[in-house]
Structure 1
Amino acid sequence: MLSGTCGGNWSMEKENNTSEGRGGMSEVNTIPDLSQILSSEPHWTNTKYSKNMLMDALVKHLLGLMPYGMSDLGEVLEVVGHLKPGDEGRWINAWGAMAQRLQYRAEEAERADKQITASTSFLRASTYWRASLMNFSQPNDSRIGDYARASSKCYERYLELSGYPGQYVEIPYENSFLPGHFYRSPVAVDNAPLLIITPGRDTWAEDTRWVYDGAIRRGIHCLVYDGPGQGYALRLNNMTFRPDWENVVSPVIDFALTIPGIDPSRIGLMGLSFGGFLAPRAAAFEKRIKLLIADPGNISWGGSIISRLKPVSKLPRFLRPSFVDSMMKDYAWKHGVSVKEVFRILEEYDNTSVIDKITCETLVMDGTAEIIPGQAKKFFDALKCPKHYMLFDETTTSQSHCQMGGYTTATEYLFDWIDERL
């Protein structure tokens, strides 16, 4: 079941339907008790598309984008067949080839005035260009910039051809800008609420579609952005992560309030994955935020990573898992330090001293198959503000990290909760 704490109780209940059959005979149909069926192993999360944890998670994330037209089953599984655990070269080549194929198709369709075909192909091409860079830690490779620009180009063509209500924006930030998109809800009334979305460490702002699409369908405008260390901001603007995320979110809110039709008293901030750590840090200092959603939430993200990564990084090379070295390089790149400094910089990502400064109403989302079990609940327990806990278990099929693979269900529960508060 999906359980709630301090904010209501969510459950899936058994139903027995009795109906009259043909000829006046009574016919009883019993609906199986889903909670009993799904309470035992195996669960879908046991299916692995790679022995490499990150590669497996990213494939499941991409499959989860299918309901939004951002990927297709055959395309994703075709690429999976060409991957090898821990092989970043095969990863970028396989996803890049699929993206290029779809971009060519889209361009041919556009020349033939087949706008719908062009728009849908451009959308999936954009997804796969981004995917090719999600597991690639070679910052000096020219494909980093080339594929990022290709993804952006395809996504903008999709927006133009499809009419989806998204607009590219550049948010002023220090001496540069944060790239993002503003999605204006077509069903919003005057002075509607705004949800700002902070993505995670590996996926990009556009990949949070399950959130912003759910928002604009319900009359809530959305502003999504790549902050330092994320997406385009890292790969095209050379910005790396910083722990004082309030200095990122405040400029985003300043920009948002220049957009017509937004109610400044109804601003929500959601952070996903690593963003679920960064967003609470911002909310501790930025008091224009009415509602905070941490998915999943973590008090000391840096400490959690250090405790898991440091022991295996010290193993001899012949015993060390192959993904460790590439992960260390990836952390070094995204945080702007050398490999030797990774653990030192991660120590700065700790919200213990500021968590009691969070005063806005907060929702903590969690799953029974989260990557670091128990951390979201510890974060929830430490909060002193009005708070709510939403746990997705196996009966929801959204129990994985940030509900990947179960985005449609997560959208429904998330926005049923937001609707009453924002």
Structure 2
Amino acid sequence: MKDQERHIGETIDPISKVSAETSALARKHWAQPSFFNDNLLIDALLKHILSLMPYGMTDYGEVMDVVYQLSGSDEEAWVNAWAALARRLHNRAEEADGKGKHVTAASAYLRASTYWRCALLYFSDFADTRMREYAVASADCYQRYINLSGYPGERIEIPYEGSFLPGYFYRSPHAKGKAPLLIVTPGRDTWAEDTRWVCEGALRRGIHCLTYDGPGQGLALRLNHLTFRPDWEKVVSPLVDFALEKFSEIDASSIGLMGLSFGGYLAPRAAAFDKRITLCVTDPGNISWGRQIIAQLSRFHDHPLDEIPEQMRNLVRDYAWKHGVPNTIKDVVQALQPYDNSSILDNVTCATLVLDGTGEVFHGAKSFHDSLKGPKEYLLFDETSTAQSHCQIGGYATATEYIFDRIAERLGCA
């Protein structure tokens, strides 16, 4: 891989490029209007949920019906609206399943699974029994979907420090002989099932895929009570061990690791220590996640939690829960201090694809790319690509076309 930069969306002809850039500045882009201007997290979550439509995981009318039931940042309104929709589809799926209508049942189970998870995406009452109930319902619906649809996946449990990490192994129907493996690490808020757009891009190009809930994520957090840890190589290396031992169809010399959002920060740490990883994809690149969040919290370090803005208060509670520390700014800041990859970047010797977007909320992908010493490529999505938002939300089809042709080349599937 040559050290190169690519701007996705740019026009090659210089004259056309000037015209396109002028036009881009003069008009609005799809990502600018917001569902809720006063809550950027809810806005991002809703756009992600809508982006899952091409994969049969959501439907526009269902999602928008929930949107019109929401009331600002009211958590109960969020949880109840999504849970009611999930329950309705879950019941429909079971009725169809009982009548032998397996196509209908599989379709409804898949969307019900998504909506059960949606109910938990914006919910900070971590002791509420619905946390476990809805998480189990989501996993159950997704498993039933796989069983009925014939989708080439299977649920797996990766042994991990006296417990296990839940996940899925997807076999590519296009693989010939031993084929590459892509391991996908979700972000702080999404689950293994939510990475389907990534897995689809891999499977269609002859690459097997393993996606999982690591400590602090999805079912690993809500069922097994596992919290985040900074030494992520201790998470990924057991995954590689498990995959190579269990699935003989994997080419051990061609293993990629892709991280989304917070996972984009975690992936290089694993690649620095496990040299079986031959390609690292960071979406977006990030040198120090801890430094960025600590900077946001530093303005409020002398304030009691009940005196800081609601969004920041919820951020502190969420980080405290997922990192297993007391619910204070001081403890969260202390927990985030080790989340800094500055000292290990020289150890990332595998090929690295660094993704970025002009609408990205976490800045620093370019400086991350420039700090790498090994083979690397920087890929920037701009407004005209329609995939400029955080982790290409809203532009998954475009992103897949550009990202996965590169991944296939690097893993030997071109």
TM class, shorter-chain normalised?
over 0.9
Tell whether the 8 Å contact from 2:9 to 2:381 is kept in structure 1 after alignment. Answer: no
- What TM-score, normalized by structure 1, do the two folds share? 0.92
- 2:160 corresponds to which of 173, 181, 185: 173
Partner of 2:340 in structure 1?
350
Q: Tell me, yes or no, if structure 1 residue 337 matches structure 2 residue 356.
A: no
Tell whether the 8 Å contact from 1:267 to 1:290 is kept in structure 2 after alignment. Answer: yes
In structure 2, give the amino acid aligned to 1:306: I
Structure 1 CA distance, aligned partners of 2:348 and 2:367? Answer: 15
Q: Secondary structure at the match of 2:31?
A: helix
List structure 1 runs of 4+ shifted beyond 2 angstroms.
Answer: 4-16, 33-41, 312-321
- 2:226 corresponds to which of 239, 243, 256: 239
- 1:7 corresponds to which of 4, 10, 29: 4
Tell whether the 8 Å contact from 1:198 to 1:275 is kept in structure 2 after alignment. Answer: yes
Q: Secondary structure at the match of 2:231?
A: coil
Pairs within 5 Å for 1:254-403: 254-258=241-245, 259-312=247-300, 314=302, 320-340=308-328, 341-373=331-363, 375-403=364-392
In the alignment, structure 2 segments of 5+ residues that lack a partner are none
Give the drift of 1:76: 0.9
Partner of 2:141 in structure 1?
154
Give the drift of 1:94: 1.1
Partner of 1:25 in structure 2?
none
Partner of 1:194 in structure 2?
181
Structure 1 CA distance, aligned partners of 2:366 and 2:88? Answer: 44
Write the deviation string for residues 169-223 of structure 1: whole angstroms up to 9, x where unpaired.
0001110110000000011011100000000000001101111011111100000
Structure with higher Rg: it is 1
Give the drift of 1:34: 5.8
- 2:28 corresponds to which of 21, 38, 42: 42
Give the drift of 1:320: 3.3
Q: Tell me, yes or no, if structure 1 residue 144 matches structure 2 residue 141.
A: no
Write the deviation string for residues 78-115 of structure 1: whole angstroms up to 9, x where unpaired.
11112223222211111111111110111111112211
Give the drift of 1:313: 6.1
Q: CA RMSD in A?
A: 2.1
Structure 1 CA distance, aligned partners of 2:192 and 2:11? Answer: 38
Structure 2 CA distance, aligned partners of 1:160 and 1:285? Answer: 37
Tell whether the 8 Å contact from 1:5 to 1:389 is kept in structure 2 after alignment. Answer: no
In structure 1, give the amino acid aligned to 2:344: V
Give the drift of 1:310: 3.0
Give the drift of 1:400: 0.2
Partner of 1:419 in structure 2?
408
Partner of 1:106 in structure 2?
93
284-293 or 5-14, which moves further after superposition?
5-14
Give the drift of 1:321: 2.3
Count of aligned pairs between the two proteins? 404
Write the deviation string for residues 306-360 of structure 1: whole angstroms up to 9, x where unpaired.
1123315655778732222122111100000002210110111111111111000
Tell whether the 8 Å contact from 1:234 to 1:334 is kept in structure 2 after alignment. Answer: yes
In structure 2, give the amino acid aligned to 1:170: E
Structure 2 CA distance, aligned partners of 1:318 and 1:285? Answer: 41
**Change over 3 Å in CA distance of 1:130–1:41 after alignment to 2:** same
Tell whether the 8 Å contact from 1:193 to 1:262 is kept in structure 2 after alignment. Answer: yes
In structure 1, give the amino acid aligned to 2:29: H
Write the deviation string for residues 267-324 of structure 1: whole angstroms up to 9, x where unpaired.
0000000000111111110100000000002111011011123315655778732222
Identity, % of aligned positions: 59
In structure 1, give the amino acid aligned to 2:4: G
In structure 2, give the amino acid aligned to 1:367: G
Give the drift of 1:71: 0.5
Structure 2 CA distance, aligned partners of 1:56 and 1:178? Answer: 29
Structure 1 CA distance, aligned partners of 2:8 and 2:369? Answer: 20
In structure 2, give the amino acid aligned to 1:307: A
Pairs within 5 Å for 1:14-163: 37-50=23-36, 51-163=38-150
Write the deviation string for residues 377-422 of structure 1: whole angstroms up to 9, x where unpaired.
1111111111100000001000000001111110110111112110
Q: Secondary structure at the match of 2:410?
A: coil
Give the drift of 1:146: 0.3
Q: Tell me, yes or no, if structure 1 residue 211 matches structure 2 residue 198.
A: yes
Structure 2 CA distance, aligned partners of 1:316 and 1:5? Answer: 50
In the alignment, structure 1 segments of 5+ residues that lack a partner are 17-29
Q: Secondary structure at the match of 1:224?
A: strand
Structure 2 CA distance, aligned partners of 1:316 and 1:173? Answer: 37
Q: Tell me, yes or no, if structure 1 residue 222 matches structure 2 residue 233.
A: no
